[in-house]
Amino acid sequence: MVVLMINKIIDIALGNRAVILVLIAALIVAGLLSIQRLPFDADPDISPLQVLVTTQAPGLAPQDVERSITTPIELALQGLPSMTSYRSISRYGLSVIYVKFADGGDILTARALVAQRLSQTALPTGAGTPLLGPLSDGLSEIYLHPATGPFPGDAPGYHYREEFDALMAAEVVAASRDSSLRLGGFSDFLDPETTVHPAASYGSVPNRNLMP
């Protein structure tokens, strides 16, 4: 049965060669036009729709951060519309929560829902205010600016970062025309609320932390 049908199609095609050639040419033209209008992305964004929530808690150990900050925020975020899952990380003085939503949703709506729940969350005294991460995805930060030495001072690279922030950051944001642009990299900070290392008694700089 199948062989007879195929033979009949071949006979019809051979008997109407002009029509078949016109149809093939029309398909080729339609394909070329579709390729020109097809949205093409060399690096498609496959990252999930998620909202980042960070909370600083200077002086708290990871166990205390988990118990007094991360867990209350997780409980407050329960039952959000279109939320599929969340993942949290509790580190020294820092709580990070990734809230994932169903694909196809609106990132602004998701951020608004999370912000509303965070405003209703009571955290202990001394904990920072929960903040939403930048409006970006896994492929947003694609430009890397290398810092090459030699650098002055005892912390190579970090003085150069300070100069870059002071001179170039505003120009980079203005040139990109994107107010949500964030500059990453290493920064130097002092945390006076943490325990001073015993080496400080020997003249070392107390509690000098370097973090990305």
Closest by CA to 97, choosing from 79, 120, 116, 72, is 72
Write down the pTM of the prediction. 0.52
Name 91's Cβ contacts closer than 8 Å, sequence gap at least 6: 62, 65
| Dihedral over Cα of 119, 96, 144, 103: its sign | negative
Mean pLDDT of the chain: 75
For residues 127 and 69, the answer to whether their CB atoms sit within 8 Å is yes
For residues 83 and 76, what is the distance between their CA atoms, to the nearest angstrom? Answer: 13
pLDDT at 211: 39
The tens digit of pLDDT for each residue in 152-163 reads: 555 555 556 666
Number of H helices, E strands in the chain: 7, 6
Q: What are the sequence ranges of the domains in the chain?
A: 2-37, 49-132, 158-211
Residue 121 main-chain phi, psi, to 5 deg:
-95, 130
Closest C-alpha to 49, from 108, 95, 125: 108
pLDDT digits (tens, 9 = 90+) for 74-85: 999 988 888 999
Q: Which CATH architecture has domain 49-132?
A: 2-Layer Sandwich (3.30)
Q: Is the pLDDT assigned to residue 31 strictly greater than 80? A: yes
Answer whether 91's CB lies under 8 Å from 65's CB: yes
Q: Spell out the alpha helix ranges (H) of 58-206.
A: 62-65, 71-76, 107-119, 158-167, 169-176
CA 65 – CA 88 distance, rounded (Å): 11
91's tokens? 């580190």
